[in-house]
Amino acid sequence: MTLEEARKRINELRDLIRYHNYRYYVLDAPEISDAEYDRLLRELKELEERFPELKSPDSPTEQVGAKPLGQPLGYLEATFRPIRHPTRMYSLDNAFTLEEVRAFEERIERALGRKGPFAYVVEHKVDGLSVNLYYEEGVLVWGATRGDGETGEEVTQNLLTIPTIPRRLKGVPERLEVRGEVYMPIEAFLRLNEELEEKGEKIFKNPRNAAAGSLRQKDPRIAAKRGLRATFYALGLGLEEANLRTQHELLLWLKEKGFPVEHGFTRAVGVEGVEAVYREWLKERQNLPFEADGVVVKLDDLSLWRELGYTARAPRFAIAYKFPAEEKETRLVQVVFQVGRTGRVTPVGILEPVFIEGSEVSRVTLHNESYIEELDVRIGDWVLVHKAGGVIPEVLRVLKERRTGEEKPILWPENCPECGHRLIKEGKVHRCPNPLCPAKRFEALRHYASRKAMDIGGLGEKLIEKLLEKGLVKDVADLYRLRKEDLLGLERMGEKSAQNLLRQIEESKSRGLERLLYALGLPGVGEVLARNLAARFGTMERLLQASLEELLEVEEVGELTAKGILETLRDPAFRDLVHRLKEAGVEMEAKERGGEALKGLSFVITGELSRPREEVKALLRRLGAKVTDSVSRKTGYLVVGEAPGSKLEKARSLGVPILTEEELYRLIEERTGKRLETLAS
Ligand code: AMP
Ligand code: ZN
């Protein structure tokens, strides 16, 4: 082995070992056996012994003993050490009106001495934090925040909790900087705040702050539970070498290299073309999975970028065209208290109605006691209100300078506003403990019937109220016992609508475990978690037996959520409800059998298996894995049957983990929580 070959292999091994350390210690989801891991480590040690000039203090072999006793090998905290970006990171200039976009194009015309219109690429401006990833010879070396543009903070360990960030690249410039945005999807953000609210803790103001806070966690295991995502749109070093002509090509290149380009982009010609896209995206804004505060307009032709260059702060070839962000002053006239499905009491501010970005705003959530304390808001106060993300009304601040002294503090009720039961206080959370509280029942039914849950369209709020009033239903299981005669007895319920409703209720039985879990409103469980739980456990029966450890293994389930779920699962009332739903014929199995339990993994098969190879391949694919025919460095596992071919040698030389057929099936059963027989068909 030459020195050069050794260097290559050593780098490969270090990278592999760091990756597996990370799977093991941070994600708690090892991909290879201990023996396999030891083999990699031994090989690295031996090579470093033979080629001492290649030793390095940051090799995983050197980390033994470097950490305090009891701390696992290679468990790495985020360091936040300062990192100088190889090339500067810029901000963007803003435009708030069409005129300002015109002025932007005119500046370009003057600088280039050429008339427009020019071709642009328009991208969503994702509201997150910009980051810089640095790759050497296709291997991710570090990732850092933008900081002041010249120097940022290293956040590699936390960035690696984002599953879509590639660690290795093929066919890229030797030194490469890839830039993009780390963000928290709105659903993850709402879930995180829901958790914090249940605990009575301070909530994050917006997804951007939540993303920043999560990326700045010292312990990547916490960051890993926060569901961060990333999207990439620019290159620093390596841009010239990549030989690209346009921004459009650049985005496609990033995609092809395996980077998530999730923010969407389109081409447009001239200011009018840009305006058309802007208008359309403004309308679509509330349907995006992330918060966008505008669009980014970039000249498509990269050769023009070189001609135009940068100001001290921002490129001259791009501009952020911001969405309107109206802020209005109004008065808080009253606070009412709402009781939710979990019995938690939420204060809602009643405002003197104001018009913001096209619709009337008259209610705003005040979340909880800490939020009110922090905001220091009183009844009668003038407040500044906007729509977060263009959708959710929010108090920005209290205009204390306008206080008259007549304002009154917000007092929490002692008793439940719905049932009169005495409220209990858990930390800062006020809760109605009465299991028969009608507010809980109403909310539970409404949520159960909602579109993303069991989708019983005919069961509106009015009808739910009537059904509760007449005592026809007490909980969701009672829905399945409704008869046509019951419904016809209600006012304004005709033969036809009764029939429709009963049909919808019948249809709701077969929505599958994913939807059912969401519909039952387990604490902290939104659509995504419901899907993850269903994928992991497969059946309600299996879920009911889950341990805390097993729940914690589920993607994006944090400690608090896990405990809350477990408590509910053990609750006799919940078990009884599930039992009655089952009796009624409600399906309790996951629809996507095994869901995407193997998503992100890739397999190659060699040799003869005990089952037809095509069947195994189909199963792996059904579970979300990739199956290919030849081994490369990117291969996740080689599955080895009887009389394996040359792929085995190749996999060994590349350090690709190897599984026997048995081990493969064990992996599948562990990941899906199901027996192989029930999966294969
Ligand atoms: P600002 O933070 O207001 O200075 O806006 C500039 C920032 O917008 C950049 O530094 C990026 O973090 C962010 N950004 C979001 N989406 C994009 C995008 N598609 N292209 C460029 N920058 C973006
Ligand atoms: Zn109550």
The answer, yes or no, to whether any atom of ligand 1 lies below 6 A from the CB of 291, is no
Q: From the CA of 415, which ligand is nearest?
A: 2
Q: Are 443 and 505 in contact (CB under 8 A)?
A: no
Virtual torsion, Cα 27, 33, 34, 35, nearest 10 deg: -160
Q: Is the pLDDT at 594 greater than 80, yes or no?
A: no
Q: Which helix (H) or strand (E) holds 619?
A: helix 613-622
Q: Which residues pair with 135 in a beta bridge?
A: 140, 176
Q: How far is CA 148 from the centre of its chain?
A: 27
Round to whole Å and give the CA distance between 647 and 631.
6
Q: Which two tokens stand for residue 203?
A: 């909530």
Supply the DSSP string of 428-496, one letter for each residue.
TEEE---TT-HHHHHHHHHHHHSTTTT--TT--HHHHHHHHHTTS-SSGGGGGG--HHHHHTSTT--HH
Q: From the CA of 122, which ligand is nearest?
A: 1
Q: How far is the CA of 276 from the centre of ligand 1 (A)?
A: 21
Task: Indicate the CATH number of 3-62 among 2.30.29.30, 1.10.287.610, 2.60.40.10, 1.10.3720.10.
Answer: 1.10.287.610
Tell me, what's the pLDDT at 680?
A: 60
| Residue with CA at minimum distance from ligand 1 atom 2 | 91
Round to whole Å and give the CA distance between 252 and 407.
57
User: What topology does CATH give the domain 328-431?
Assistant: OB fold (Dihydrolipoamide Acetyltransferase, E2P) (2.40.50)
- Residues 6+ positions from 382 with CB-CB distance below 8 Å: 329, 330, 331, 332, 398, 399, 402, 403
Helix (H, G, I), strand (E, B), or coil: what is residue 680? coil
Q: Is the pLDDT at 627 greater than 70, yes or no?
A: yes
pLDDT tens digits, residue range 417-455? 989 999 988 778 898 988 778 888 898 999 999 988 999
pLDDT tens digits, residue range 395-427? 999 999 999 999 999 999 999 998 999 998 877
Burial class of residue 65 in the structure, from the number of CB atoms within 10 Å of its CB (0-12 exposed, 13-18 middle, 19+ buried): exposed
- Residues 6+ positions from 155 with CB-CB distance below 8 Å: 78, 80, 131, 143, 144, 145, 215, 216
Q: From the CA of 149, which ligand is nearest?
A: 1
Would you place residue 70 in the very low, low, confident or very high pLDDT band (cuts 50, 70, 90)?
very low
Q: Torsions phi, psi of 512, nearest 5?
A: 95, 165
Round to whole Å and give the CA distance between 553 and 533.
10
Q: Which residues pair with 134 in a beta bridge?
A: 142, 177
Tell me, what's the pLDDT at 362?
A: 95
The answer, yes or no, to whether any atom of ligand 1 lies below 6 A from the CB of 155, is no
User: What topology does CATH give the domain 513-592?
Assistant: DNA polymerase; domain 1 (1.10.150)
The answer, yes or no, to whether any atom of ligand 1 lies below 6 A from the CB of 296, is yes
Q: How far is the CA of 263 from the centre of ligand 2 (A)?
A: 43
The answer, yes or no, to whether any atom of ligand 1 lies below 6 A from the CB of 91, is yes
Tell me, what's the pLDDT at 74?
A: 41
Mutational test site, ligand 1, from 125, 232, 261, max ligand atoms within 8 Å of CB: 125
Does 596-680 match 82-322 at the fold level?
no
Q: Is 152 left (phi over 0), alpha (psi -120 to 50) or beta?
A: beta
Average pLDDT estimate for 626-649 = 88
The answer, yes or no, to whether any atom of ligand 1 lies below 6 A from the CB of 92, is yes
Q: Are 101 and 112 in contact (CB under 8 A)?
A: no
Q: Is the pLDDT at 618 greater than 80, yes or no?
A: no
Round to whole Å and give the CA distance between 121 and 104.
15
Domain ranges of the chain: 3-62, 82-322, 328-431, 438-510, 513-592, 596-680
Q: How many CA atoms lie within 13 A of 380 on its CB side?
A: 10
Residue corresponding to tokens 């209290």: 398
Catalytic choice (125, 225, 466, 617): 125
Mutational test site, ligand 1, from 85, 88, 91, max ligand atoms within 8 Å of CB: 91
Q: Residues lining ligand 2 (ion), CB within 5 A?
A: 416, 418-419, 421, 432, 434, 437
pLDDT tens digits, residue range 459-471? 998 899 999 989 9
Q: Which two tokens stand for residue 93?
A: 């200039």
The answer, yes or no, to whether any atom of ligand 1 lies below 6 A from the CB of 320, is yes
Q: Which residues pair with 404 in a beta bridge?
A: none
Which long-range CB contacts under 8 A does 241-245 form with residues at least 24 apart? 241/173, 241/174, 242/172, 242/173, 244/302, 245/301, 245/302, 245/303
Rounded to a whole number of angstroms, the distance between the first and last alpha carbons of the chain is 48
Tell me, what's the pLDDT at 76?
A: 57
Tell me, what's the pLDDT at 548?
A: 92
Q: Choose the most confident range, by mean pLDDT, from 57-61, 415-419, 597-601.
A: 415-419
Q: How far is CA 578 from CA 338, 446, 516, 611, 677, in A?
A: 27, 18, 10, 37, 25
Would you place residue 67 in the very low, low, confident or very high pLDDT band (cuts 50, 70, 90)?
very low
Q: Which two tokens stand for residue 592?
A: 């996507």
Comparing 77 with 194, the larger pLDDT belongs to 194
Q: Torsions phi, psi of 257, nearest 5?
A: -80, -5
Q: Is the pLDDT at 63 greater than 60, yes or no?
A: no
The answer, yes or no, to whether any atom of ligand 1 lies below 6 A from the CB of 177, is no
Q: Torsions phi, psi of 431, nearest 5?
A: -140, 145
Q: How far is the CA of 338 from the centre of ligand 2 (A)?
A: 10
Q: Is the pLDDT at 596 greater than 70, yes or no?
A: no
Identity of the amino acid at 346: T
Q: Among this protein's residues, is 125 annotated catalytic?
A: yes
Round to whole Å and give the CA distance between 513 and 587.
7
Supply the DSSP string of 536-560, one letter for each residue.
HH-BHHHHHT--HHHHHHSTT--HH
| Residue with CA at minimum distance from ligand 1 atom 21 | 296
Q: Choose the most confident range, by mean pLDDT, from 6-10, 205-209, 376-380, 431-435.
A: 376-380
Q: Which helix (H) or strand (E) holds 38?
A: helix 34-50
Q: Which helix (H) or strand (E) holds 126?
A: strand 119-126
The domain over range 82-322 is classified in CATH as 3.50.50.60: no
Q: Which CATH class is domain 596-680?
A: alpha beta
Cβ neighbours around 430 below 10 Å, total: 23
Round to whole Å and give the CA distance between 241 and 250.
12
Q: What is the pairing mode between strands 626-628 and 637-640? A: unpaired
Q: How far is CA 454 from CA 182, 264, 497, 589, in A?
A: 33, 31, 18, 14
Q: Is the pLDDT at 637 greater than 60, yes or no?
A: yes
In this prediction the pTM is: 0.64
Identity of the amino acid at 347: P
Which long-range CB contacts under 8 A does 100-104 form with residues at least 24 apart? 100/319, 100/321, 101/271, 101/274, 101/275, 101/297, 101/319, 101/321, 102/271, 104/297, 104/319
Q: Choose the most confident range, by mean pLDDT, from 56-60, 479-483, 523-527, 628-632.
A: 479-483
- In 206-341, DSSP assigns E strands to 229-235, 265-269, 292-299, 318-322, 328-339
Tell me, what's the pLDDT at 595?
A: 59
Supply the DSSP string of 365-415, one letter for each residue.
E--SHHHHHHHT--BT-EEEEEEETTTEEEEEEE-GGG--S--B-----SB
Would you place residue 66 in the very low, low, confident or very high pLDDT band (cuts 50, 70, 90)?
very low
Supply the DSSP string of 136-150, one letter for each residue.
ETTEEEEEEE-TTSS
Round to whole Å and give the CA distance between 562 and 483.
38
pLDDT tens digits, residue range 257-281? 989 998 989 999 999 999 999 999 9
Task: Indicate the CATH number of 438-510 among 1.10.150.20, 1.20.1050.10, 3.40.190.80, 3.40.50.300.
Answer: 1.10.150.20
Average pLDDT estimate for 132-160 = 91
Q: Are 196 and 366 in contact (CB under 8 A)?
A: no
Round to whole Å and give the CA distance between 123 and 293.
11
